[in-house]
Structure 1
Amino acid sequence: MLIDKPLPELRRYRGRNPRPADFTRYWREALRELDATPVQPELVPNREIDVPGVECFDLWFTGVGGARVYAKYLRPKAPIGRRHPAVLQFHGYSGNSGDWLGKVPYVAAGFCVAALDCRGQGGRSTDAGAVQGNTLNGHIIRGLDDPDDRKLLFRSLYLDTVQLARVVMSRPEVNPDRLGAMGASQGGGLTLACAALEPRIRRAAPVYPFLCDYQRVWEMDLAKDAYAELRDYFRRFDPCHEREADVFRKLGYIDCQHLAPMIKGEILMYTGLMDQICPPSTQFAAYNHIRARKEMVLYPDFGHEWLPGEADRTLRFMLPLAR
């Protein structure tokens, strides 16, 4: 069964969604805004679980627009002065940073772990509109109708991943030269964005990344599930598609395929060739733009689901950071 382009074509595919002419300037200015944002980090001990050798904290920091952003932070109990590698974890669309326990294997391997709650989704972070909690509906299209291209919500989300990386690298127990990032679906897209915008990320493992090549999703008639808001947007706000070209141009600012050439660290990416939520061609669009050392692991019979062996392989991929 073939749901997308044949594999030889996927390996050559370079994407459909246009790249805005001022894309480089857009992200350069975004990073300058982040530089000017007071971080105000706060680390609060959390004792929800008590695991020998592990310390857990609630981590708060300020993102662009003044949002207070939350992450779970875990570190090994170790003698003062020792510096550890660290890994950032990013969750799927509408989710949250997950349970503490799932992060313990990385702490056992010597890593500090920071798991982000995306603003306005299923965790504790504050949305850009200063509303705590869930404002999930329409995150991809948030800001499309604002004349200021900087109002795209995912611009803020991508910058939150960078701010988290900076906060973690500034910790005295962290070696800033040994930082990894990982996540699946939305978390995979955020992993790509973080690795692009924070070039000190040494290793990144995106799993079937979301947020890539929006126009291809539309043309495949797969604007459903995670991408359903694209169809909703056109039906509600542009039913005759009079502004279609500008919609996809603007989405190009938050398209991970256009950020991918900026990645410096090594990439291990996973793609299921039966994926009808984040189609394989959209994932290849990002992968094929990566210029850094990279590898793609293909699952021919799997879609947007649990991939056997992925978690173990990702841990092995990250372990050199701990040596």
Structure 2
Amino acid sequence: MALFDLPLDELRAYRSASPEPADFDAFWTKTLQEAREHELDARFEPVVTGLRTVQVYDVTFAGFGGHPVKGWLTVPVSVDGPLPTVVEFIGYGGGRALPHQHLLWASAGFAHFVMDTRGQGSTWSVGDTPDPVGSAPAFPGFMTRGVEDPESYYYRRVFTDGVRAVEAARAHPLTDASRTAVTGISQGGGVTLAVGGLISDLTAVAPDVPFLCDFPRATTVTDQNPYREIGNYLKAHRGRTERVRETLAYFDGVHFAARGRAPALFSTALEDQTCPPSTVFAAFNAWAHEEKAIEVYEFNDHEGGGPHQEAVKLRWLTNRL
């Protein structure tokens, strides 16, 4: 696959034209206040997995609307004190999977919290969290569920779940709330950016090939799903483009990035047609904290850096946590 986006020198200077809603902060303050009216009720049930070097807990906590959200907490065995903690969010269509699929961070001495994604987990990895909220007519997938109103949009619930997942992770006695990082790939990277903009005291933020960034460009520069779901919705619902764009602006990673208060490590791939590099650089260039870096994989598609980026993140987070 050939390079299709802006040249790298232009990417490094690229800024999004995504308009920020005037009430962006008020919208998210209200959303999180409503979520916190429900007790977090984080429950951690030990799981027998056959793994000898880690202990796994099956987690349930109250997310958006007080709805139960699942997760895994994995910690090294025989730990003596609060551990630096990595909270991870999952890529599009996937769920929290099975405990033995998440061993990297606990093997390195961290506590590792994986959030299930409501309504997903029936494609490439299994999930266990339903989304009890319906929506108006939508194109198949998750991108257009409730997309004509920010109050009802699907990612309002997911991003709120992400904030509550950090709160749940910090509620366990083996985690150190003062040393908490968030990370994720693709959709998980988009949730990472949102949580990084909504929680002010994170230690580090590490989104890889993040999705849900710079919607005005993403929905016109690539015809790959999931962004194409929005175009297909508008193909059927003619005349609603402006309303949809107004909704998406409340969920654009660029605007969350402008509120990022922690060091950040991004990654992108220049042949990535799923999350085009210009949309990733839009969020990176908007990231507010002065300590930030981006790993660029010139000849990779949406797999990005894969295990190579995991190694980079492991070194980077070890130095910060």
In 2, Cα distance between equivalents of 1:273 and 1:116: 28
Structure 2 residue aligned with 1:74? 74
8 Å CA contact 2:268–2:280 kept in 1: the answer is yes
Shift of 1:188: 0.8
Select the residue among 246, 268, 272 that pairs with 1:249: 246
Select the residue among 261, 270, 273 that pairs with 1:273: 270
Structure 2 residue aligned with 1:237? 237
1:256-280: per-residue Cα shift (whole Å, max 9, x none)? Answer: 1111111111111110011111111
In 2, Cα distance between equivalents of 1:21 and 1:181: 27
Task: Name the SS for the 1:151 alignment partner.
Answer: coil
Q: How does 1:126-165 map onto structure 2 within 5 Å?
A: 126-129=130-133, 137-146=140-149, 149-165=150-166
In 1, Cα distance between equivalents of 2:132 and 2:160: 12
In 2, Cα distance between equivalents of 1:15 and 1:310: 25
Q: Does 1:104 align with 2:103?
A: yes
Shift of 1:79: 5.2
Shift of 1:316: 1.0
Give the counterpart letter for 1:106 in structure 2: W
Structure 2 residue aligned with 1:287? 284
In 2, Cα distance between equivalents of 1:321 and 1:86: 11
Give the CA RMSD over aligned residues.
2.0
Runs of 4+ in structure 1 displaced over 4 angstroms?
A: none
Shift of 1:167: 1.0
Structure 1 residue aligned with 2:217? 216
Structure 2 residue aligned with 1:52? 52
Task: Name the SS for the 1:156 alignment partner.
Answer: helix
1:37-72: per-residue Cα shift (whole Å, max 9, x none)? Answer: 22122211211x222231111100111223210001
In 2, Cα distance between equivalents of 1:232 and 1:281: 22
Instruction: Count matched residues.
Output: 311
In 2, Cα distance between equivalents of 1:225 and 1:244: 18
In 1, Cα distance between equivalents of 2:114 and 2:90: 8
Greater mean deviation of Cα atoms: 102-111 or 116-125 = 102-111
Q: How does 1:1-80 map onto structure 2 within 5 Å?
A: 1-47=2-48, 49-78=49-78
CA gap of 1:79–1:17, structure 2 versus 1, over 3 A, is closer
The normalised TM-score by structure 2 is: 0.91
Task: Name the SS for the 1:150 alignment partner.
Answer: coil
In 1, Cα distance between equivalents of 2:58 and 2:311: 27
CA gap of 1:33–1:223, structure 2 versus 1, over 3 A, is farther
Structure 2 residue aligned with 1:114? 113
8 Å CA contact 2:139–2:145 kept in 1: the answer is no
8 Å CA contact 1:70–1:116 kept in 2: the answer is yes
CA gap of 1:256–1:79, structure 2 versus 1, over 3 A, is closer
8 Å CA contact 2:148–2:243 kept in 1: the answer is no
In 1, Cα distance between equivalents of 2:37 and 2:92: 28
The normalised TM-score by structure 1 is: 0.91
Shift of 1:136: 10
In 1, Cα distance between equivalents of 2:250 and 2:288: 19
8 Å CA contact 1:65–1:128 kept in 2: the answer is no
Shift of 1:218: 2.4
Give unpaired runs (5+ residues) of structure 1: none
Give the counterpart letter for 2:37 in structure 1: A
8 Å CA contact 1:70–1:125 kept in 2: the answer is yes
In 2, Cα distance between equivalents of 1:180 and 1:86: 6
Give the counterpart letter for 1:262 in structure 2: R
Give unpaired runs (5+ residues) of structure 2: 122-126
